[in-house]
């Protein structure tokens, strides 16, 4: 976890913020599933100002269509999410997503239009509403500030680790919180978010600023992650604000807005890193830091190109310092810079090593390079020496297990 000054990392995930509870139960949505939670709920005692971003894929899951409709007034009070089935490309998908919202609303005694819905799993298979219908009342009764972990488990598919985080900080002498949970392991090449991510806060803030902060921080975090180059049909990122911290409402981009935005960055950046670290079959987190770029756009494009390269990812799986693949990935990035100025360093907890200077290879120890690249967190440091802008992107190595997991995904 990357630490931030003036922000204390606390337990609770989406339940750390005042007013929020969560839970997760076993509904048996996927055939043969009798041990893993697969139905989650997040609820707030107050109607929340809510902002959201969804997939840019032309094929969109039914839950996205329904959630967009329910969010037209900018408010929500609960989220219902299932794993095991994406409810995408189904003739009755919207009907099922709406029923999930109705059932949740009845169980919580709220308006169905204040319920958002998410689904993740296999695409193109019909989702049976019966187990969901049976378990939603039980799920609603299980909601607690202590059950964030159950909700995280319930939204996971091929994830190997739970992704939850929260921070505490002060605004106007009030204790405030931002917390989040997410899932995502494969089909990750977000153009807006990740597979599924839910963020909560008790900060009182104008809805327009809530959405502005979400878009900006997403641009710097989830949008800079790639596992396999595929953009999901169900990518959903939701940010809900209860306002129960009782700080003076943030209505302009002042110091308090900056503090809130940084808290949101602390949560989303760490969740984004964990998404990359937990890529299907991955053994290494890869962080590419590009400096000296002529523009922010160029820096972002260069960093994302490197961590998206299958050849770079495969080389790092083998701890092979094949720096030529890094330059190749930089060369086809949608960015203008002088390749003859570029230097590349490889780094980890075992040290740092320059492998390329002024666009050409230099002598280095292959043994030292292999030792550096053998760690489970590796950095690729690229200096374009062509400006003052920088960017960070996150990815993972490409392993035999990635192919195995996806070859057997439906079975």
CB 373 within 8 A of CB 251: no
Does 194 participate in catalysis according to the annotation? Answer: yes
CB 132 within 8 A of CB 98: no
The C-alpha angle 71, 194, 129, rounded to 5 degrees, equals 60
Give the span between the Cα atoms of 287 and 399, in whole angstroms. Answer: 17
CB 236 within 8 A of CB 280: no
Closest alpha carbon to 236 in 90, 29, 63: 63
Query: Tokens 């060369």 — which residue?
Result: 331
Q: What is the DSSP letter of 329?
A: H
3-state helix, strand, coil in the chain (%, to 5): 35, 30, 35
Give the span between the Cα atoms of 409 and 26, in whole angstroms. Answer: 20
The C-alpha angle 86, 92, 98, rounded to 5 degrees, equals 75
CB 145 within 8 A of CB 21: yes
Closest alpha carbon to 403 in 116, 147, 186: 186
> Token pair of 157, please?
């598919």
Burial of 178-197, coded b for 16+ CB within 10 Å and e otherwise, reads bbbbbbbbbbbbbebbbbbb
Three-state SS at 182: strand
Give the span between the Cα atoms of 156 and 139, in whole angstroms. Answer: 17
C-alpha torsion 195→198→203→208, nearest 10: 50
* Given 88, 120, 157, 194, the catalytic residue: 194
Work out the burial of residue 370: count CB atoms within 10 Å of its CB; fewer than 13 is exposed, 13-18 middle, 19 or more buried.
Answer: middle
CB 117 within 8 A of CB 81: yes
CB 279 within 8 A of CB 194: no
> Token pair of 23, please?
């839970």
β-strand pairing of 360-361 with 115-122: unpaired
Catalytic residues: 194
């Amino acid at each position: 976890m990357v630490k931030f000054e003036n922000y204390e990392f606390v337990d609770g995930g989406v339940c750390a913020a005042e007013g929020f509870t969560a839970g997760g139960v076993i509904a048996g949505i996927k055939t043969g599933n009798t041990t893993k939670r697969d139905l989650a709920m997040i609820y707030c005692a107050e109607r929340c100002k809510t902002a959201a971003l969804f997939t840019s894929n032309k094929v969109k899951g039914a839950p996205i269509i329904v959630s967009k409709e329910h969010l037209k007034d900018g408010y929500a009070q609960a989220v219902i999410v299932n794993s095991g089935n994406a409810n995408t490309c189904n003739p009755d998908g919207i009907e099922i997503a709406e029923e999930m919202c109705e059932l949740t609303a009845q169980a919580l005694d709220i308006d169905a239009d204040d319920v958002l819905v998410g689904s993740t799993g296999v695409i193109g298979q019909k989702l049976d509403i019966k187990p969901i219908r049976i378990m939603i009342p039980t799920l609603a009764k299980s909601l607690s500030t202590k059950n964030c972990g159950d909700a995280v488990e319930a939204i996971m598919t091929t994830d190997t680790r739970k992704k939850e985080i929260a921070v505490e900080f002060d605004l106007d002498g009030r204790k405030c919180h931002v917390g989040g949970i997410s899932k995502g392991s494969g089909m990750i090449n977000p153009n807006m978010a990740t597979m599924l991510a839910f963020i909560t806060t008790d900060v009182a803030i104008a809805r327009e600023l809530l959405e502005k902060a979400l878009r900006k921080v997403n641009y710097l975090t989830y949008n800079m992650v790639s596992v396999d180059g595929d953009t999901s049909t169900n990518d959903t990122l939701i940010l809900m604000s209860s306002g129960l911290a009782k700080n003076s409402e943030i209505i302009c981009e002042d110091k308090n807005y900056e503090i809130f935005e940084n808290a949101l960055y602390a949560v989303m950046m760490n969740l984004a890193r964990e998404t990359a670290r937990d890529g299907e079959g991955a053994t290494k987190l890869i962080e590419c830091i590009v400096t000296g770029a002529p523009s922010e756009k160029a820096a972002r494009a260069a960093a994302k190109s490197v961590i998206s390269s299958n050849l770079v990812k495969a080389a790092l799986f083998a701890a092979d310092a094949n720096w030529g693949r890094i330059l190749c990935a930089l060369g086809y990035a949608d960015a203008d810079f002088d390749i003859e100025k570029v230097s590349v360093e490889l780094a980890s907890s075992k040290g740092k090593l320059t492998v390329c200077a002024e666009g050409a290879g230099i002598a280095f120890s292959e043994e030292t390079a292999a030792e550096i690249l053998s760690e489970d967190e590796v950095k690729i440091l690229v200096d374009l020496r062509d400006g003052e802008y920088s960017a960070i992107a996150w990815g993972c190595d490409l392993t035999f297990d990635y192919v195995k997991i996806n070859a057997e995904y439906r079975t």
